[in-house]
Structure 1
Amino acid sequence: MPLTRPTLAELNSRSQADVVTRLAGATPALPRSILGSLVSALAGVLHGLFGFHVEQSKQDVPYTATGIDLERWASIWSVTRKQPTTSSGAAAASGASGIAIPAGTRVRSDAGAVYETTSLVTTAGGAAELSLVAIAAGAAGNQVAGAVLSWVNAPSGLAATVTVGAGGLGGGADLESDDGLRARMLQRIQAPGHGGSADDYRTWALDVAPITRAWVFPLYDGPGSVRVYVANDAHDGPTLASAGDVAAVQSYIDARKPVTVLKEDPSNPGTYINGFEAVAPIAAPVNYVLSIVPDTAENRAAVEAALAELYYRDAVPEGAVSHNKSLVAIGSAGIDDFTLTAPTSTPTADAGEILTLGTVTWP
């Protein structure tokens, strides 16, 4: 039976009734009476105690526990909270040739994220490739390819900005939330290790700090092969995770997968190679054209949020998102009527892709 916390008024009324029952002639309800003041103080104490016990009761079971109590529950199944990680990657600098850029030279984004070079480089032919790492851990350090960063303490002779390379700056992740930790803990409880089952691969992928979603495709390239698509929802780019994220998953699972995960090398029949592959799916945006009634900014935002939730929940690599579910999602946004012009059928992702919500046009 769930513990229900009475209101302060209810506790005050109960306490007054108890005093009247036990003390003949008592009038605790009278204004400014001594008994009334004592009853009110007692009700306040009881209200606080009820609040403590209601909150404590949530910590008594793993599926409602929070904070340190959730971490204690998760530790029973060897699940620990994922710690923040720093983003890193390459960027291009330009300027006069022969300019030395020492390790520790800093650049920053317009949003205030600061990075430093990890090694000494010297410009040649008017350019140099920098290896950057964020000073502070967290998803705020991730940058898309082509992002422009400004020098904090640039050596003279260099252009005022540097450009993030094709791979972006990735791998940054915030401290795992209670919801994320709880989901992984429940996954471990409900699907314990089975020596390399599909659930094992999903669990292993989600153990890697930046990864928030994972999809497992056994026998993707035939017998002895497993492909795991991974997503880092903090990553902003054409794929759902950075190259660094994918490499981290590949390394982590390679150290844990069964030794029998081997596939035949198509270029050398009779020879077997690693059959496991971690991949970041390529985003395949699906654009919508629709009109709604009533057409307000609030209703537009509600429709876009409903469609975004649909794609986050239902989209899988190389899979489809039901057209009928799109209609249901739009209709559930609290509008009176709508007309969907596009898409007109169920979209399906190509190999290596995953459907995402594109732009919504309101004619």
Structure 2
Amino acid sequence: MAWTVLSPSEISARLRGALRRYLPGTDALVWPNNLTAIVKTVAAGLHDMHLRAAWLYEQIFATTASVQHLERHGAELGIYRRPMARAEGVVTLNGFADTIYPAGIAFIAGNRLYHSISDARSDLAGLLTLTILSDDYGVATNIAAGETVERADPTQFPNLELEATVASGGIGGGADTETDASLRARILDRKRR
């Protein structure tokens, strides 16, 4: 059963009825008397309490809880909002044979910047395989397999190709912050299990 919030006029009517019942011969509607002011004041205070109780009622359930309290429901179960993540993947390009290239080689795809995260050695044919990580966070940093990325600084390592091909696994793992709906669904799924 949902919590019903009574309006100030409904509360006033109930209080006036209680006054008639418990104080025979009084009527809060008869002017002039101080019971009218007392009833209105008490009704306003009780209305605020009803509003607070309705809000609390919503917070005790994960289905209706506000964002702050939804996260508290999740924390009680060890479920936390998934943060933004950067994309990572492998690219290949040609360079000098059997050469070590340092970490930090920059690539651009659209307006997004990526950097190689470790040193890498090209094979005897000159094929260089680099693991790159996006500088930005979010789904927009993912790149499908087979796409190309350009080197950000062509003057650095002039023996390397200007374009690299994204390997078969793609550049993935980039994610936006988890939405409230997704977090709520995970919490409810856990509670149901």
Query: Which TM class, normalised by the smaller chain length?
Result: 0.5 to 0.7
Contact 1:99 1:155 in 2 (8 A): no
Give runs of aligned pairs for residues 6-45 of structure 1, distance below 5 A.
Answer: none
Mapped partners of 1:89, 1:2: distance in 2: 52
Contact 1:84 1:176 in 2 (8 A): yes
Tell me what 2:146 maps to.
Answer: 146
Mapped partners of 2:30, 2:102: distance in 1: 82
**Counterpart check, 1:171 vs 2:170:** no
Letter in 1 for 2:163: T
Mapped partners of 1:107, 1:22: distance in 2: 83
Q: Percent identity?
A: 26
Tell me what 1:121 maps to.
Answer: 120
* Residues 56 and 163 of structure 1: CA distance in aligned 2, closer, same or farther (over 3 Å): farther
Larger radius of gyration: 2
SS in 1 for 2:128: strand
* Residues 140 and 68 of structure 1: CA distance in aligned 2, closer, same or farther (over 3 Å): same
Query: Which aligned runs of 4 or more in structure 1 are off by greater than 3 angstroms?
Result: 1-4, 21-24, 52-60, 95-100
Tell me what 1:28 maps to.
Answer: none
Mapped partners of 1:73, 1:59: distance in 2: 9
Give runs of aligned pairs for residues 205-216 of structure 1, distance below 5 A.
Answer: none
Mapped partners of 1:171, 1:105: distance in 2: 20
Q: Which deviations, in whole Å up to 9, do the C-alpha atoms of 1:143-193 show, x marking residues without a partner?
A: 1111111111342222221110011112222211111111111111111xx
Q: Which deviations, in whole Å up to 9, do the C-alpha atoms of 1:109-160 show, x marking residues without a partner?
A: 11x2222111112444232111112223322221111111111134222222
Mapped partners of 1:118, 1:105: distance in 2: 8
Tell me what 2:79 maps to.
Answer: 79
Tell me what 1:59 maps to.
Answer: 59
Cα distance, 1:55 vs. partner? 6.8
Letter in 2 for 1:71: E
Q: Which deviations, in whole Å up to 9, do the C-alpha atoms of 1:54-102 show, x marking residues without a partner?
A: 7776434211223222110111222211222222121001244466532
TM superposition score normalised by structure 2: 0.65
Tell me what 1:161 maps to.
Answer: 163
Q: Which deviations, in whole Å up to 9, do the C-alpha atoms of 1:330-358 show, x marking residues without a partner?
A: xxxxxxxxxxxxxxxxxxxxxxxxxxxxx
Q: Note the aligned Cα RMSD (angstroms).
A: 3.2
Tell me what 1:181 maps to.
Answer: 183
Mark the runs of 5 or more structure 2 residues left unpaired by the alignment: 8-28, 33-47
Contact 1:87 1:169 in 2 (8 A): yes
* Residues 22 and 117 of structure 1: CA distance in aligned 2, closer, same or farther (over 3 Å): farther
Contact 1:116 1:134 in 2 (8 A): yes
Mapped partners of 1:3, 1:92: distance in 2: 64
Tell me what 2:69 maps to.
Answer: 69
SS in 2 for 1:70: helix
* Residues 91 and 22 of structure 1: CA distance in aligned 2, closer, same or farther (over 3 Å): farther
Letter in 2 for 1:118: I
Mapped partners of 1:109, 1:2: distance in 2: 54
Mapped partners of 2:95, 2:31: distance in 1: 91
Contact 1:66 1:178 in 2 (8 A): no
Mapped partners of 2:176, 2:70: distance in 1: 18
Give runs of aligned pairs for residues 217-256 of structure 1, distance below 5 A.
Answer: none
Cα distance, 1:23 vs. partner? 9.5
SS in 2 for 1:65: coil
Mapped partners of 1:180, 1:171: distance in 2: 17
Letter in 1 for 2:180: D
Mapped partners of 1:115, 1:63: distance in 2: 40
**Counterpart check, 1:91 vs 2:91:** yes
Letter in 2 for 1:79: I
Tell me what 1:282 maps to.
Answer: none
SS in 2 for 1:130: strand
Cα distance, 1:105 vs. partner? 1.4
Tell me what 1:249 maps to.
Answer: none
Mapped partners of 1:99, 1:123: distance in 2: 5
